[in-house]
Structures are given as C-alpha cells and as structure tokens.
Homo-oligomer: A and B are copies of this chain.
C-alpha cells in the first residue's frame, strides 16, 4: 500500500526557494515575522500548487499539542450522547481540533474506566460524559494527565463542568401539568442519588409547593434512564394505588417505557393520563401520542464544554463552570386537562 506522495514543508520551501523555517513561519501566519511580500507570495503559491498539508503528527510532536480532544461517553444507544457528541464535534472542528471517541460501555470499577480514558491517549484534553458512580469517576479522573471538562454533572471537588439546569427542566415540566389543572402529579425520577436526579426531583417538588400542593413521596419512583426502568417504575406506581393524573418523566426513554405500560393497561393518553418527558429527542415526536417535552440544550452542552476545554488548554481561561438554561417546553399531544376538571 504505497502511501500517496506526501508533500512536506521542505518541498514547499525548496519550491519557493526559501528555508523551511521561513516557510513554516509564513504558513503559520506568525505575526512576529517580517517577510518580503514577494517571498510570502512565493511560499503561499508553492504550498497551494503542491497541495501541502502539514503533518499533524510532526507538528504535534514538536509543539506538544496534538490538537485532538477525546470524548468519553458510556453508550451511544441513548440519544443524549449522540447529541452531545454532535455539539462537541462541531465546536472542535471550528477551533481546529479533532474529536476522538471512546465509549466506556458497561465499565464499572475505576480501573476499567481509567483504561477507557487512557485509551484516548495522545489527546490534549478530555470531555467526560460518562455515567459512573461519583467516586469511581473521581478516582479515574484523578489519574488523568490532561485537563478535562465534565459534561452533564457536577462532581464534588472537580472544578470544570458544563451542565444544564435540571432543576428548571423538571420545574417547567411540572408547571405545565399544573397549569392544565393537574393536582396529583407523579414523578418518574432518574437516579435519585445522581446530580441530575436530585436536581430534577427538587425542581418537581418546588413547582408543586409553589402551587400550594404538598409533596407526596409516594408519587415518586426512581426509574433510571432506560425504557425498562420507566416500565417498572410506572407499574410500581400504578400498583401503589396512589391516584394521579399526570406524570413527569425524567427522560424521554423513561416516558416511552411508561407509555408502553399505560397503553397495555388500556388507559387513554392524554384524556386519562398526561405525561411530560424531559429531553426533546427525535423519538418524542414518534411516540403515540407525540410526547410533550422540555427541550434540553444538549448540543450546546457539548459545544460549550468543548470551547471551554480548548480555552483552558490554550490558557485563555482558568476554569469552566457553566449551567445552561433549558430551551423551552415543546407541547405536543401527550397532555390534557385532567378528567375531573370542568370542561
């Protein structure tokens, strides 16, 4: 497999009749270099004519900057992660960086996770969007030799992070149901220990209390972030016999799982049961009925984290701490006024 003829800086310099270092300065737009306009033109012309492409490896070796970023995600099945990656990849490209992907899979135990992170070697920095247990993640990250920004959660003792306002997301979702007249609203929570889980639960509760309702723990079930979790949780809730007419689901997958069970139960959506999901994934609009959601700035989260990481790397800033506002509620057909309310 003969690699195609590769044009090096030396070729360009030779063609332009200058020294390689001069060509390097000109091509890199080194501001501190004063060079004759004709020389500059010759170099540029030669580079273009020869189709010169700098060797990123050599440059990286010399400058100790690979211009590559790694992103660690737990999985690709949940649409949350492709969205984050999309934002990250776009931002990275804008800034002249490439994005190396690594999915940690079912990594448990920090050694395994650390391996996944280390596999993303030769990167200048790391974007971390995994779902590990706090302690495990912190321990793995403590060994990192490069700067990193944590996406989608705040970690005790770790400065750099970009999150969105999970509290507001749940509050807005709950308020929507409240405004429709619902008074008994259940919450299919995420992981009630995690950052997002606790914030969402708090947002749900705050909305309830602001409306003068009392928080009823029997209306809350931890459902995780999967379809199966949603199914199990709604069954549990239904089994408890604690009447409710609306549901705030922690994610769109949780909502989908709940809807499967509700359909099986024969309950009519939205007339007999309303549901709001948090995360406006494409699937929300494919569910039946189309799911009302809170649109989350996931792409933006990836993008902001990436710009922040690069700024960090380049010494422009010292820290990345950002909480993005949620976008808005997207009303579809999964919510209606509760049955009992006046018509």
Contacts and interface: CB of A to CB of B under 8 A. Distances in A.
Interface string A91-122: 00100001111110000000000000011111
Given A85-B101, A98-B122, A100-B101, 18 more contacts: A6-B145, A53-B118, A57-B60, A57-B122, A68-B100, A76-B82, A76-B83, A76-B85, A89-B103, A98-B100, A98-B120, A253-B286, A257-B286, A260-B288, A260-B290, A283-B286, A286-B286, A288-B288
A82 B77 contact: yes
A85 B119 CA distance: 17
Each complex incorporates copies of this chain amounting to 2
Interface in A71-97: 76-77, 79, 81-83, 85-86, 89-90, 93
Interface string A118-149: 11111000000000000000000000011100
A260 B282 contact: no
Q: Which 10 A-B residue pairings sit nearest by Cβ, starting from the closest?
A: A288-B288, A56-B122, A76-B82, A256-B286, A4-B145, A57-B60, A57-B61, A76-B86, A82-B82, A101-B101
A156 B97 CA distance: 33
A27 to B, nearest CB: 15
Contacts of A256: 286
Interface residues of A, number: 56
B285 A286 contact: no
A86 B101 CA distance: 10
A79 B4 CA distance: 35
A62 to B, nearest CB: 9
